[in-house]
Structure 1
Amino acid sequence: MYKNRTTSLLKTLFAVFVIFSFSEKIQAQSNHVLWYNQPADFFEESLVLGNGKMGATVFGGINTDKIELNDITLWSGEPVNANMNPEAYKNIPAIREALQNENYKLAEELNKKLQGKNSESYSPLGTMEIDNHHTEKAFNYYRELDISKAISKVSYEMDGVKYTREYFVSAPDQIMVIKLTSSQKGALNFDINSSSLVQFKTTTKNNILTMNGVAPIHENPGYQVIPSFLLEKNRGTRFTTLMKIKNTDGTIVSTNTSLGLKNGTEALIYVSIATSFNGFDKNPATEGLNDKAIALANLNKAFAKSFDKLKQAHIADYQKFYNRVRLDLGKTTAPNLPTNERLLRYSEAKEDKNLEVLYFNYGRYLLISSSRTQGVPANLQGLWNPHLNPPWSCNYTMNINLEENYWLAENTNLSEMHLPLLSFIKNLSVTGKVTAKTFYGVDEGWAAAHNSDIWAMTNPVGQFGKEEPMWACWNMAGAWLSTHIWEHYVFTQDKKYLQNEGYEIMKGAAQFCLKWLVEDKNGNLITSPSTSPENQYRTPVGFVGATLYGGTADLAMIRECFDKTIKASKVLNIDAEFRTKLETALSKLHPYQIGQKGNLQEWYFDWNDQDPKHRHQSQLFGLFPGNHITPLQTPELANACQKTLEIKGDETTGWSKGWRINLWARLWDGNHAYKMYRELLKYVDPDGKKTDTPRRGGGTYPNLFDAHPPFQIDGNFGGAAAVAEMLVQSNETEIRLLPALPDAWESGAIKGICARGGFEIAMEWNAKTLKKVTVFSKNGGETTLISGNKTQKVVLKKGSELEIVW
């Protein structure tokens, strides 16, 4: 009797526990799931999947499910002719003379002679549609993206039948898999078709739906792909898309241009994509890969595997990156809502700590999903682009946007995702040698400019003199990008990479800068001509221009480039003579100037900006992403940076806000950084949505994509990087813990975040005070931990860790 009562009581308690747990589960705000109770009508509501090469944008429709497909290697054009303007450099003496005479109008016009072609454009591959032949109304619709597994799901009920779809894009198997099920036997009926905005043809044979096509050959003025270029014969990058259905029952049916299933209960759709791109310097038409054979091989290998096996391999591969970092910002009282409603509520200044964590996690998800192809980094939209004429060609904009994409790579424990950028920089150093010589008359090192593309184009853009120097003539991308090589080394301590590959690229960037510098009237080294990215000055006599000498941004990037190259040569114990040249030049650079308003001057003279609240803040490069300006070591310059940010204000575009949050974090002002982080998560309506009171501007779309507007992924990456920067900052000798912790994050924990020196950190805090920290050393070494007024030196052997109760 006693035993039965105990068993009964245990059963009751277990039932209560299950109900309570389920209740907790559906009430808890997720930090890793985006979900909605309706399909996406717009791109900015869709859910994106990717394996670093293939991208899928899932709309989750009921009658028709639209899935936009991309391949990160499908671009217009072919290998660039770097020698496109072989005598451009001959104009430099005249430009410098005009600047010496303070004739800025003439210098501005002459600077246009240092221009080449515009970049090529990232192409959409195609749109896949699943037509479900529904006739009734759907109920209980649910759509989600679980970023802890990189899996999307859709479910709904219709006429007593529950329909589900599950989607993922696998890196190990290079395949997209869609699983469709119905709760009632034989209720699954659908057709698949495929189309593209570029030249294409679809056929069906052997129960495989094939779409073959070719990317446009040429990007035209104004970021437009002219239709005639879609029809070039025997040129351009080819692509193949294959779709095949695996059914358990029912009948597979087909037409010339579609593939489908009748009266099935469960089915898998396999989607395989390949292109003929074979490297930045190989013609994709004559020296290209065999896209048809690659796509078919991947399809056949995957088709032979079960759904469970494919899914298991996909999750294991993805989670080995994603699970490295865990962030907890404490208790939340936010109600469980669809993500779009959650974002709207948050925009009304409501608390939702798990949304703040979700945005951070989503940034890491997007980088894992869009940056796993060597030599082809994430572009302006990661790898998800539905447009034939995408905004700004969806290219590599190297005066901030490409670099911002990778600010979270090292510190959020995703070093492998940095490699596509590092290998792309190596490609740039090849074409950049020609650019340095022909555009700038520099016969050592390499240079890169404002825009690039998959072909590693390095020339200054502008259509050979047709565009404004304010954006077209900037030439410091090499100096900036070279610092990413040092960042990779200093976080990973991968000396072999630095020795075998990285250092020579850094040295080449420094060599160009060394030869490009000239003396000003005071004997200081400056750049001439110079521009500050996309900004314009106004002289005391009212002239508005961009061309000048000694721009602060140029010199900040050169300072950082020289400093990191010097450090790299010391680590490797090589190039002492060249190192001395850099050290001498570094000491002679025109110093930072503080203007009458207390700001850090952007221009050589204390001129006003044409737009005082301009979105770029390139003159603050030394504060972030550089680190030669700090509140402790250079307090006057740090104060001038703060004044500059105050003058610019907080209202700006998505990527710019992401940058400013990092800058405020580096100034150790966590509350201001947090204020702007909240603003970054301001709800923005989809671009095409018509409402009586549209919500526009910079912020976040319903699917958590960054609104520049339009969508640019750099804001997602910059915002996620800023969260890490608020919690941990480091250099080669010290690690600051909670340097910019906002009041709102009073309690929390993080695990797996990385610091320079090859360290990995786990820590907990409460009442805004560090309580416990664990330091793990990847390669052995020493550092000093700093939090509040306390410091502690740590010395660790390779692979060991130390736990400290603070």
Structure 2
Amino acid sequence: MKILFSLLAAAALLSCTAPAETAQELALRFNTPAAAWEETLPLGNGRIGMMPDGGIDKELIVLNDITMWSGSEDPEALNPEALNYLPKIRELLLTGKNGEAQRMMYDHFQCGGLGSSGGKSKDAPYGCFQMLGDLHINYSYPQTEDAGNYVRTLSLNDAVASTVFMKGETTFTREYISSHADDVLAVHVAADKKGSVSFEVSLSRPERATLSVQENTLIMEGQLNDGYDTDKGVRYLTKVQIVNKGGELTAGSNTLAIANADEAVILISTSTDMLDKEYTSTVDSLLEQAKKRSFGKMKQAHIAAYKEKFDRVELWLGEQDNTTPTNERLAGFQTDDDPAFAALYFQYGRYLMISGTDENSLPLNLQGLWANQVQTPWNGDYHLNINVQMNYWPVEVCNLSELHNPLIDFTQSIVPSGEATAQTFYGANGWLAHMMSNPWKFTAPGEHASWGATNTGGAWLCEHLWEHYAFTQDKEYLRTVYPTLAGAAQFFLSSMISEPRNGWLVTAPSSSPENAFYMPGSDDRIFVCMGPTMDVQIVNELFTNVLSAAAILGIEDETTTNIRETLPKLPPMQISPEGYLQEWLEDYKEVDPKHRHVSHLYGLYPSNQISPNTTPELAAAARETLERRGDAGTGWSRAWKINFWARLYDGNRAFKLLKSLLEPTSGSEVNMHRGSGTYANLFCAHPPFQIDGNLGGTAGIAEMLIQSQDGYIQLLPALPDKWPTGSFKGLRVRGGAEAAASWSDNRLSSATIKALNDNTFKVKIPGYATTVKQNGKELTAENGYVSVVLKAGQEAKLEFIP
């Protein structure tokens, strides 16, 4: 025993100074049942999911389906009177009468109908993402002792949650999976003493649910409101069965019960008719197939399917603490700066991405896949002024490229609606989308111009179409999305106007998302403007990407010609006399200098129009802008700032923002101005929960470790002092490659570049390295870079020698 202890101690000592050879255990861990939904554990397979609370006597499991959407297509959204007022609105803007233009927009230039109903649209045509329902499990035990040794975990390695505790001498175990292989939800209940498993199961939903039991099957079915109280709303069906070993199964009027079993599996099969018109037969066939497998085999197949994606990337920043509860680690991070906890949070974001969407599902909405209400905050929709895009920032760099498909497919699907919106509101060609959308292809301006006027939502989506190509180099894919890119450009080519002072071409009317300013001599809060800086950056990027795509595909047409003529007429980015980047054409005074949106730094991230290397003056202005904005903000705002500081190569400031993002918080009331942070289950608080902060945080950590936006690979560009030793593998770069790296004493020691296609990869040499070797052979440096020529599948192992 002493020899074994000595070996374990030696291994632990070595692990403090060198990355582990095998993947670490990555888990969320709690010693008590969840007291609130924000403490429960999210499981999902990209289509359906659940969140169990791990209750001992009574357990609540919230069920979800990503297609549980009320609403329907809304023909009233196309407001025919809007175009009549557009000339007058523009005339007012051109003469500096923004207040009058804004009032006219409030009255006339907005969507018809109810729009999003102020974010409460579950019974309106716009619709709302909703919870599926609640699964209730009431347990009974032969033991009378209180429960002890309670542990509740979520394994990120396996996508399996568990609840384990003892009553007397009996250990009770529950395991939960949202199967990536069998496409059902499953709860396995067992004990280490025969005949100890007894429970009753029921389903409920706050509204629009019919419950019944037929042939030992618990059934919940219903139809959501299409917004018109007709029979065209989304229909859903959920079936629950129990497969038991030992014991007796009985059925009540709305319950199923098992008594004195050795073990039992609760199987939940569910679907809607939104994407599957044969949804009822789908539910039945999935349930029947799942019943044929033992839980062990089902779990094994699930883990294998999940790990194919999850295991592509590893991040080692130190040994994981797998004994301290996660809520305590979260609180402790504010003082101990535990690097391993940051790595856990990074991988949790990848877990949420894999669990929340798949290649054929809807895009992740504001809450991803998970909701516990029928009226989710802000309808749980797709906000196009950053939020849905932030959801997809990690997919390429974090080696989940195929999970970009739902957003890419959605972008292409809204083009016809966007064309109608362009004609109806602007009399323009091409297509656009404003600041919000839904599965019903809503592209009109929101019902209030203060937030709904932003008209670059569709163009921002197009950035993701290009980024997918930049990372994959798939020319056939690029050919399929080129018409969508070109159509978005055509809208701006045909709708921008010339502003009077410099003759620059600008969007009008528009806004800098949700931020207000004061006109000189007025106390009125103004949102409506011409050519806000974010619009200029997005349009510039869109035009540039269309030209790049056209060159790759050998296309030369009227659109490319017009873009070349128009690009020089766009406004430049302007620096205020006080040193910050201007948010508007004029240097207006902001109503809230600490506003959560920092939209005018779009050019810094996710775009690359501002860089310390290529535009140092603009980078300095971006830094000053961030200093003025401060480090506070809603959850997603803090996540965005991590990425900003990483792009400015300031790893310590990026780490400070990561700590800010990970401040423990509680409460679920909607509040955009209260301090934000992270809930006990590591869900990001807006507040309330929004998944964009999680995924933006994961993207930010990746950005601290690797960047490739300027035509070369830069390893550890924003490594904080707090992460002196570490390694990663599997992160991807533009140009089509995977990268791995190891470092110690905050210095890069080695890296591997694996080509996914034939290409030459330029790698920046760290300032402290005097020699770079590839596979043992010294490389010739040129202006601080080395070039690595690889065929698809080849690897280059690089050493960086001081």
Q: How large is the RMSD of aligned CA atoms in angstroms? A: 2.2
Q: Which residue number corresponds to residue 589 of structure 1?
A: 570
Letter in 2 for 1:495: K
Q: 1:97 to 1:453 in 2, by over 3 A?
A: same
Q: Using the TM superposition, give the Cα deviation of residue 457 of structure 1 relative to its aligned residue in structure 2, in angstroms.
A: 1.0
3-state DSSP class of the match of 2:585? coil
Give the conservation status (yes or no) of the 8 Å contact 2:78–2:421. Answer: no
Distance 1:47 1:200 in 2: 25
**Number of the residue aligned with 2:740:** 762
**TM-fit CA distance, 1:697:** 2.5
Match of 2:770 in 1: none
Contact 1:136 / 1:159 at 8 angstroms: preserved in 2?
Answer: yes
What is residue 315 of structure 1 aligned with on the other side?
Answer: 303
Please give the secondary structure, in 1, of the residue aligned with 2:101. helix
Distance 1:750 1:241, change over 3 A: same
**Residue 269, structure 1, aligned to residue 266, structure 2:** yes
- From 306, 315, 337, the equivalent of 2:294 is 306
Partner of 2:244: 247
Indicate conservation of the 8 Å contact 2:683/2:690, yes or no. Answer: yes
Tell me how far apart the structure 2 counterparts of residues 15 and 308 of structure 1 sit (CA, whole Å). 33
Question: Which range is displaced more, 529-538 or 570-579?
Answer: 570-579
3-state SS of paired residue (1:799): coil
User: Contact 1:685/1:696 (CA < 8 Å) preserved in 2?
Assistant: no
**Paired residue total:** 759
Matched, 1:95 2:93: no
Decide which of 446, 459, 483 is 2:463's aligned counterpart. Answer: 483
CA distance in 1, matches of 2:539, 2:743: 38
Which secondary structure state, in structure 1, belongs to the residue aligned with residue 497 of structure 2? strand
Q: Which residue of 2 aligns with 1:428?
A: 414
* Residue number in structure 1 paired with 2:171: 162
1:297-332 CA distances to partner (integer Å, 9 max, x unpaired)? 110111111212211111111111100000112467
Amino acid at match of 2:49: G
CA contact (8 A) 2:269 2:287 kept: yes
Q: 2:565 matched to 1:573?
A: no
- SS where residue 396 of structure 2 aligns? coil
Is 1:665–2:652 an aligned residue pair?
A: no
CA offset digits 1:337-372 (Å, max 9, x no partner): 10001111112x213111100000000000001111
| Whole-Å separation in 1 of the counterparts to 2:463 and 2:656 | 29
2:397 match: secondary structure: coil
Change (3 A) 1:302 1:22: farther
Long gaps (5+) in structure 2:
117-125, 768-783
What is the SS of the residue equivalent to 2:576?
coil
Matches within 5 A, 1:580-619: 580-619=561-600
Please name the residue that 1:126 is paired with.
133
Structure 1: how far apart are the matches of 2:149 and 2:192? 14
**1:178-197 matches, cutoff 5 A:** 178-197=187-206
Deviation at 1:91, TM superposition (A): 1.4
1:338 equivalenced with 2:325 (yes/no): yes
Find 1:510's aligned residue among 475, 489, 494: 489
Partner of 2:603: 622
SS for the counterpart of 2:75 is coil
What is the distance in 2 between the residues matched to 1:157 and 1:40? 17
In the alignment, is the contact (CA less than 8 A) between 1:32 and 1:148 conserved in 2? yes
1:64 corresponds to which residue? 58
Q: Relative to structure 1, is the Cα distance of residues 727 and 12 closer, same or farther in structure 2, using a 3 angstrom cutoff? A: closer
Amino acid at match of 2:209: F
Secondary structure of the corresponding residue to residue 194 of structure 1: strand
Q: Distance in 1 between matches of 2:675 and 2:538?
A: 30
The one-letter code of the counterpart of 1:324 is R
1:22 deviates by: 11
CA-CA distance at 1:16 after TM superposition: 6.4
Aligned to 1:448: 433
TM-score by length of 2: 0.92
Equivalent position amino acid for 2:426 in 1: Y
Cα distance in 1 for partners of 2:686, 2:226 equals 28
Q: Is contact 1:479-1:513 (8 Å) kept?
A: no
Answer yes or no: is the 8 Å Cα contact 1:530–1:547 preserved in 2.
Answer: yes
Equivalent residue for 1:109, pick from 78, 103, 107: 103
State the distance in 1 between where 2:370 and 2:625 align: 35
Conserved 8 A contact 2:669-2:687: no
2:27–2:322 CA contact under 8 A, matched in 1: no
Match of 2:373 in 1: 387
User: Secondary structure of 1:261's partner?
Assistant: strand
SS state at 1:583 partner: helix
Q: CA deviation at 1:732?
A: 6.4
Q: 2:632·2:675 contact (CA, 8 Å) conserved in 1?
A: no
Contact 1:537–1:603 (8 Å) recurs in 2: no
Equivalent residue, structure 1, for 2:213: 204
1:84, distance to aligned residue in structure 2 (A): 2.9
- With over 3 angstroms needed to count, the CA separation of the structure-2 counterparts of 1:696 and 1:340, relative to structure 1, is farther
- 1:798 paired residue number: 792
Deviations 1:172-214 (A, max 9, x none): 2111111110121111110110001231111111111111122
SS in 1 for 2:146: coil
**What are the superposed Cα offsets for residues 438-476 of structure 1, whole Å, 9 maximum, x if unpaired?**
12211x2111011111112111111xxxx3x22021111
Match of 1:225 in 2: none
- Distance in 2, matches of 1:335 and 1:81, equals 54
Alignment-mate amino acid for residue 142 of structure 1: V
The 2-side partners of 1:24 and 1:382 are apart by: 39
CA distance in 1, matches of 2:694, 2:422: 33
Aligned to 1:282: none
Whether the aligned pair in 1 keeps the contact of 2:29 and 2:322 (CA below 8 Å) is: no
State which of 523, 543, 553 in structure 2 corresponds to 1:562: 543
- 1:49, 1:150 within 8 Å by CA — same for their partners in 2? yes
Deviations 1:644-677 (A, max 9, x none): 0000011111100000110111111111111111
How far the C-alpha of 1:382 sits from its partner, in A, is 0.6
Q: CA deviation at 1:164?
A: 0.6
Instruction: Name the amino acid aligned to 2:701.
Output: V
Greater Cα offset, 611-620 or 429-438:
429-438
Shift of residue 233, structure 1, vs aligned partner: 4.9
TM superposition shift of 1:373:
5.3
What residue identity is the alignment partner of 2:786? Q
Match of 1:7 in 2: none
Q: Do the aligned partners of 2:337 and 2:722 also contact (CA within 8 Å) in 1?
A: no
Match of 1:200, as an amino acid? A
Letter of the structure 2 residue corresponding to residue 301 of structure 1 = Q
Partner residue, 1:536: 516
Give 1:777 deviation, angstroms: 0.7
Using the TM superposition, give the Cα deviation of residue 64 of structure 1 relative to its aligned residue in structure 2, in angstroms: 1.0
Aligned residue type for 1:470 = S
Q: 1:376 aligns with which of 362, 367, 374?
A: 362
Please report how far the alpha carbon of residue 687 of structure 1 lies from its aligned counterpart in structure 2 after TM superposition.
3.3
Question: For residue 4 of structure 1, what is the aligned residue in structure 2?
Answer: none
Alignment match, 1:222: none
CA–CA distance in 2 between the matches of 1:739 and 1:233?
A: 56
Letter in 1 for 2:179: S
Deviations 1:461-498 (A, max 9, x none): 11xxxx3x220211111111101001001101111111
* Partner SS state of residue 140, structure 2: coil
Q: Distance in 1 between matches of 2:376 and 2:533?
A: 32
**C-alpha contact 2:453 2:509 (8 A) present in aligned 1:** no
Gaps of 5+ in 1: 1-10, 219-228, 279-287, 690-694
